[in-house]
Structure 1
Amino acid sequence: MSLREQLYRQAGEALPQRIARANGSATAAYQQLAKEIHQTIIERVELGKLQQMAPEQVKRELAQLVEHILEEGNHPVNEAERRSLVLDVQDEMLGYGPLEPLLADPTVSDILVNTAKHVYVERNGKLELTEVTFLDNAHLMRVIEKMVSRVGRRIDESSPMVDARLPDGSRVNAIIPPSAIDGPLLSIRRFAVKPLTVQDLIERQTLTQQMTHLLEAMVKAKLNILISGGTGSGKTTLLNILSGFIPADERIVTIEDAAELQMRQNHVLRLETRPPNIEGRGEITQRALVKNALRMRPDRIILGEVRGGEALDMLHAMNTGHEGSLATIHANTPRDALTRLENMVSMAGLSLPTKTMRQQITSALTVVVQVSRLTDGSRKLMSVQEITGMEGETINMQEIFTFKRKDVDRDGRIKGHFCATGVRPKFSERLQAFGIRLPESLYDPTVQHEV
């Protein structure tokens, strides 16, 4: 049970009831009363003293203040509304206001705030509109500022876009006027309190047991792997899964824009980028972190997402003894991933001939794994492709596993099957050199796994 769930239950209201209230049972009169109580508390309480108290003590003090204000004003509220007002004020003072119930709901994977009056969530791969609202755009701005300030970021008219993370690791992106025309926009990618395991992905039919055996073997044999996919396709989730196969005695350096990876090994060094300050100074880029990581004697380098010129430094690292490195990239197909990687290498400021760039990529990378989010909301590992070399100026690839779509059922779910292509990968010899022997039946194309 998460901390938010525990707090709601301690307050005497079950989480489902609380979420139901967030999804539409609060009236305009109730919202106005909550706003008045919140404003009264701000006027009466020294916020500096509250910050010196323990969280549980602050919650008790706020609960007593709400009860006192309700008695003073002789407000006609029932017991359920009274308890809800206490929670609302606590959320506003200590948390993220109207978003707290959604953050406490384990079924919500994404929270998308389109200005103050429209809040969407994603459940089971599908978007749905909730009836959660903010009082106005100024109220939403206060929540956004609270989120980003807690991790040392800022957002204002001169810097209207920001990436940040919540204390639980959830990824936050906000953009405000003048860049956002209709009002502040907020996107929260939820962070799994309990990381998904390989077995979870198999049960969700994201991949098969046979594919898992191959992925585990590739990581243990220190192949350099690039995970490709679109937004929300599960790249980071798969990266977490693959990183779990790294032996515990290896030194791992992770580099991310916003720290999301949940490494289970002990010897992990986590690095994170930093944007420039208000004077435009102090920026720490992924490229700088990759260069620094090479001086930290890493056994593995894990790059959360390749975005720009750091692609060249990553390839250099892979080509100079840092085997077994992992990275993700935004692309719709494995071939597109390599094209994007070429474009990013060119962003490093070196005018390398096309053939030279592709030779760098070919010698550095061994496997591209493609993941996709399908139209029914499900995530699938669509393809595992090996980079086999070059023919002229073209990078050659061969597919080892694939997911083939066949049909859509009455409920809109995509039907298809996973299967091997019958190709035995060239890196099989490397697997054997590491003492890993996979059965030849693993590559049998006649074995199909229907989903």
Structure 2
Amino acid sequence: MSLLDRLEKQKTSVAEENATDVTAANKNVYIDEYADLKERVHRDFIEKVNQQDLSLLDIKGDKEEELLKIMESLIEVKAPHVSRTERSRLLKEIYNDVMGLGPLEVLLNDNEVTEIMVNGPHRVYVERKGKLVLSDVVFKDNTHVMNIINRIVSQVGRRVDESSPMVDARLIDGSRFNAVIPPLSLVGPSMTIRKFSKKPFTANDLIKFGSISPKMVSFLEACVKGRMNIIVAGGTGSGKTTLLNVLSSCIPNNERIVTIEDAAELQLMQDHVVTLESRPPNLEGKGQISIRDLVKNSLRMRPDRIIVGEVRSGETLDMLQAMNTGHDGSLTTAHANSPRELMSRLETMVLMSGMDLPVRAIREQIQSGLDIVVHQSRLKDGSRKVVNITEVVGMEGDTITLQDIFTYRVEGVDSSGKMKGSFTATGIRPNFVEKLASSGILVRDDWFAN
């Protein structure tokens, strides 16, 4: 039986455990005594494990039961006076501190929490249903937070220290992780964890959440199967990666897919997938492999599809060149506030490659490479919506021309504070519809009827 199962069986009535009320002062004394007891049991457990030459790394292996018995016996000896409920709590917290992610375990196991933000040891915020709230989770001190950060980054071969005080990584479940430590962070070690669903969201899930309409899903599915080049744009936390995952699921299973990311987050279900991840420099400042290096290398890997988690700088040029040289059906994401603004951002990012290209040449690369811009936004009520599906039409003079195929129109706010609106087709048929039809992809006229 697992530890968590045993803890569940040890539940007792709160009323029985708290027969008498205590004053605020007594509560503070109790909290201090509990923290002191927890620290002593924790310290003695580590000493005993070291004496018996056991490895904490074997907690998921054959030695799990042995390690848990040591912990339980120490609690029995050190805390005979506390209730069964408090012993269970003590056991669970020490287990999380030693073998898990400490106080974060509670939040990571809460399905309603989508993002965790640690601002130093005593202020931990979470996002629930699109809203930020202060949680009651706290760490003991800065050292406690640093121990958890180091445990996370060491699992994926990353490092964080004063010489490299920022790090991107991922948790075992694929959740996105970022940490910034002093001297850059003045409030103490800070963490941000973007949780991802253990089961990848599907298009039906997005429809159920009200993020997109069925017609828009059908259209985008046809575009992916018809090998249109698509970029998903939006702000931070707008759901770009989730939507990219859904679009990627439409790729036929017989195609070879190469994914390129800073920290691997995409959860593709296809059989033929090669996942590439960038690498930061080592202690000597050498060995860095950038997204741009991986995009260039992917062209030699005979990909049917190239999926870049996000373009941020010079790799944009290489991605556009791939789209323009036979790698149709490529997908990526970028930060932008609108499809029109995305065009300007792409120009800027191409110039960050160091290539001194004329602006017109860059715009021609963009308009010939990209077919569709899907713009996603997080509204004021915390909901995420696909607010534009826009076709990149071509050039008029020196200007890239765009036309909206679908839009989301905000119509107000209801009594509960939720945004009201509707997904609307503009009535415009994309210019590439004939190309899709000639490839055997079903395109229905009623998708575009407004």
* 5+ residue gaps, structure 2: 14-26
Correspondence 1:250-329 to 2 at 5 A: 250-329=255-334
SS of corresponding position for 1:110: strand
2:155 to 143, 150, 155: 150
List per-residue Cα deviations over 1:374-396 (Å, max 9, x = no partner): 11010000000001110111000
SS of corresponding position for 1:121: strand
Task: Give the distance between the partners of 1:100 and 1:121, measured in 2 at CA.
Answer: 13
2:164 to 159, 166, 172: 159
2:431 to 405, 426, 449: 426
Name the count of aligned residue pairs.
434
SS of corresponding position for 2:103: helix
Correspondence 1:88-107 to 2 at 5 A: 88-107=93-112
Whether the aligned pair in 2 keeps the contact of 1:230 and 1:331 (CA below 8 Å) is yes
List per-residue Cα deviations over 1:301-342 (Å, max 9, x = no partner): 000000110101101100000000000001110111111111
List per-residue Cα deviations over 1:246-296 (Å, max 9, x = no partner): 011100000000000010110000000000011101100000000000000
List per-residue Cα deviations over 1:343-372 (Å, max 9, x = no partner): 110011111111010000011001100000
Structure 1 match to 2:18: none
SS of corresponding position for 2:269: coil
Correspondence 1:318-357 to 2 at 5 A: 318-357=323-362
CA apart distance, 1:32: 2.6
Structure 1 match to 2:408: 403
Correspondence 1:225-236 to 2 at 5 A: 225-236=230-241
429-438 or 252-261: bigger deviation: 429-438
CA apart distance, 1:124: 1.3
Task: Give the distance between the partners of 2:231 and 2:9, measured in 1 at CA.
Answer: 46
Whether the aligned pair in 1 keeps the contact of 2:58 and 2:64 (CA below 8 Å) is no
Structure 2 match to 1:35: 39
Task: Give the distance between the partners of 2:202 and 2:413, measured in 1 at CA.
Answer: 27
1:224 counterpart = 2:219: no
Task: Give the distance between the partners of 1:133 and 1:140, measured in 2 at CA.
Answer: 10
One-letter code of the match for 2:362? M
2:243 to 238, 244, 248: 238
Structure 2 match to 1:69: 74
Task: Give the distance between the partners of 1:444 and 1:69, measured in 2 at CA.
Answer: 70
SS of corresponding position for 2:36: helix
1:192 counterpart = 2:197: yes
Whether the aligned pair in 2 keeps the contact of 1:62 and 1:89 (CA below 8 Å) is no
CA apart distance, 1:80: 1.0
2:49 to 25, 45, 56: 45
1:11 counterpart = 2:11: no
List per-residue Cα deviations over 1:130-178 (Å, max 9, x = no partner): 1111111111111111111111111111111000111111110000110
Correspondence 1:361-376 to 2 at 5 A: 361-376=366-381
One-letter code of the match for 1:186? M
Structure 1 match to 2:20: none
Task: Give the distance between the partners of 1:96 and 1:314, measured in 2 at CA.
Answer: 37
One-letter code of the match for 2:281? P
Whether the aligned pair in 2 keeps the contact of 1:174 and 1:184 (CA below 8 Å) is yes
List per-residue Cα deviations over 1:376-435 (Å, max 9, x = no partner): 010000000001110111000000000000101121100011110011110111111111
One-letter code of the match for 2:36? Q
Whether the aligned pair in 1 keeps the contact of 2:10 and 2:84 (CA below 8 Å) is no
Structure 2 match to 1:20: none
2:173 to 168, 171, 193: 168
Task: Give the distance between the partners of 1:402 and 1:71, measured in 2 at CA.
Answer: 63
SS of corresponding position for 1:45: helix
CA apart distance, 1:54: 5.2
Whether the aligned pair in 2 keeps the contact of 1:318 and 1:365 (CA below 8 Å) is yes
CA apart distance, 1:73: 3.1
CA apart distance, 1:438: 2.1
CA apart distance, 1:14: 9.1
Whether the aligned pair in 2 keeps the contact of 1:114 and 1:186 (CA below 8 Å) is yes
Whether the aligned pair in 2 keeps the contact of 1:228 and 1:337 (CA below 8 Å) is yes
Task: Give the distance between the partners of 1:54 and 1:74, measured in 2 at CA.
Answer: 23
Task: Give the distance between the partners of 2:160 and 2:360, measured in 1 at CA.
Answer: 43
CA apart distance, 1:13: 5.5
One-letter code of the match for 1:395? I
Whether the aligned pair in 2 keeps the contact of 1:225 and 1:365 (CA below 8 Å) is yes
SS of corresponding position for 1:27: helix
Whether the aligned pair in 2 keeps the contact of 1:8 and 1:14 (CA below 8 Å) is no
| Residues 31, 61 of structure 1: alpha-carbon distance in 2 compared, 3 angstrom cutoff | farther
CA apart distance, 1:49: 1.9
Task: Give the distance between the partners of 1:214 and 1:74, measured in 2 at CA.
Answer: 63
SS of corresponding position for 1:12: helix
CA apart distance, 1:74: 4.8
CA apart distance, 1:10: 4.1
| Residues 353, 74 of structure 1: alpha-carbon distance in 2 compared, 3 angstrom cutoff | closer
One-letter code of the match for 2:4? Y
List per-residue Cα deviations over 1:171-194 (Å, max 9, x = no partner): 100001100012111000112101
CA apart distance, 1:65: 2.4
Whether the aligned pair in 2 keeps the contact of 1:62 and 1:86 (CA below 8 Å) is no
Task: Give the distance between the partners of 2:412 and 2:317, measured in 1 at CA.
Answer: 41
Q: What is the root-mean-square deviation in Å for CA atoms of aligned residues? A: 2.0
Task: Give the distance between the partners of 2:115 and 2:193, measured in 1 at CA.
Answer: 6
One-letter code of the match for 2:41? I
